[in-house]
Amino acid sequence: AVYQVNLVQHLSADFAGDPAALAARLSVFWPCTLAGEDWAIVSASPELFLARRGRRVWTSPIKGTRPLGEHVEGEKDSAEHVMIVDLERNDLSRVCEAGSVRWPELMAERELAGVTHLVSRVEGALRPDVGLAELLAATFPGGSVTGAPKIAAVDLIAELEPVGRGASMGALGTVRGNGDLELTLTIRTFAIGEGTIHLWVGGGIVWDSEPEAEIDESWTKARPLLAAIGARAPVDAVVR
């Protein structure tokens, strides 16, 4: 059974702009940019996927979204959020010292990337025998962009989403030679290439989700990003 699945919709448009200029327009969100020949990724992600300092590791999952200035409240938002926190706790428990995983922050309300979110922090002490490959294998992809249980949710995503996720819903950041790292989830992320700009937005779906409310939430996330490229999110926008 799948208790929550994170489904996304794909938006795209012709684009002849400068990725660096787009990053500058998103500067209030502290964007991360990666570019190569004829392609670029511009991410305004507010979500920490994974960080490591020595043996200390932590993640800060986000679930629950409202327009800026509104409070995130309701049993559904809380249930979705706690479900993902529990998933992240289980993931870290696979590679951390027994009894070291804890969640010092649970469902804190934060204003991030132009919207209001619920954010938690899950942390633990990494076992000495665990290397980078084992750490990423235990935690990737992030639970907030897949659902729970993770493997079943990923299988359902592959079945239901008509377009691949491309550069979105992955991870982007830095890994140092000593093993320390800081990776964000590539949500709120533009992928640019071959004259086209792409954006993926979505949210967690559970058994009592209301379709209209879920679509509204995805547009709430998209609007600050679309504004940066001079686009709008009309009610009848074509999604493909």
Positions marked catalytic? 47, 63
Does residue 228 sit in helix, strand or coil?
A: helix
- For residue 209, the Cα-to-chain-centroid distance in whole angstroms is 19
- For residue 69, give both structure tokens: 């200035």
- Is 21 in contact with 40 (CB distance < 8 Å)? no
Which residue shows structure tokens 């590539």?
A: 186
Nearest alpha carbon to residue 163 among 9, 3, 4: 9
Which residue shows structure tokens 């300092």?
A: 53
- For residue 166, give both structure tokens: 């491309």
